[in-house]
Amino acid sequence: MFISSQNSKHEAFKDFTLVMPAVAVGNVGQLAVDLLVSTLNMSRVGYFHTDCLIPMAGNNPYATCKEDAEEVHTPAEVYTATELKLAVLQIRAPIIQTKSKRFRQQLVSWIKASGFSRTVVLSSSHAYQRDDKQLQGTPLRYLATPSLLKGSADALKELGWREMERVAAFPGLTDTDSEPRLYIPGGGITKGLYTDSCAVDLPLAVLLLFCSEGDNIPDAFALVARLNDWLHLLDNQSQDLQGKWKMPSSWSLLFGSGIPPALF
Task: Check pLDDT > 60 for residue 133.
Answer: yes
- Model confidence at 174, pLDDT cuts 50, 70, 90, reads low
Residue 219 makes CB contacts below 8 A (sequence gap 6+) with 26, 28, 31, 124, 209, 211
DSSP string, 153-187: HHHHHHHTPPBPPPB-SSTT---TTS--B---TT-
Closest C-alpha among 27, 189, 184 to residue 100: 189
Give the model's confidence band at 136: pLDDT under 50 very low, under 70 low, under 90 confident, else very high.
Answer: confident
The percent helix, strand, coil of the chain (3-state, each to 5) is 35, 20, 40
The amino acid at 4? S
Mean pLDDT value across residues 147-174: 84
Three-state DSSP state, 140: strand
Strand bridging mode 76-81 / 58-59: unpaired
Q: Which amino acid appears at position 51 of this protein?
A: D
At 68-122, the pLDDT tens digits run: 777 888 999 999 999 999 999 999 999 999 999 999 999 999 999 999 999 999 9
Q: What amino acid occupies position 127?
A: A
Percentage of the chain modeled with pLDDT above 70: 90
Judged against a pLDDT cut of 60, whether residue 10 lies above it is answered with no
What are the residue boundaries of the structural domains of the chain, listed by start?
11-252
In contact, 187 and 22? CB cutoff 8 Å: yes
- Check pLDDT > 70 for residue 171: no
In SS3 terms, 178-218 reads as: CCCECCCCCCCCHHHHHHHHHHCCCCEEEEEEEECCCCCHH
pLDDT of residue 67: 75
Which DSSP string do the residues of 77-131 spell out, in sequence order? Answer: EEEEEGGGTEEEEEE-SPBPGGGHHHHHHHHHHHHHHHT-SEEEEEEEEEGGG--
- CA 197 from chain centre, in angstroms, equals 15
CATH architecture of 11-252: 3-Layer(aba) Sandwich (3.40)
pLDDT over 70 (residue 242): no
Query: Model confidence over 60-70: pLDDT tens digits?
Result: 888 887 777 77
Over range 172-201, report the average pLDDT: 86
pLDDT of residue 175: 55
CA angle 100, 218, 254 (to 5 degrees): 65
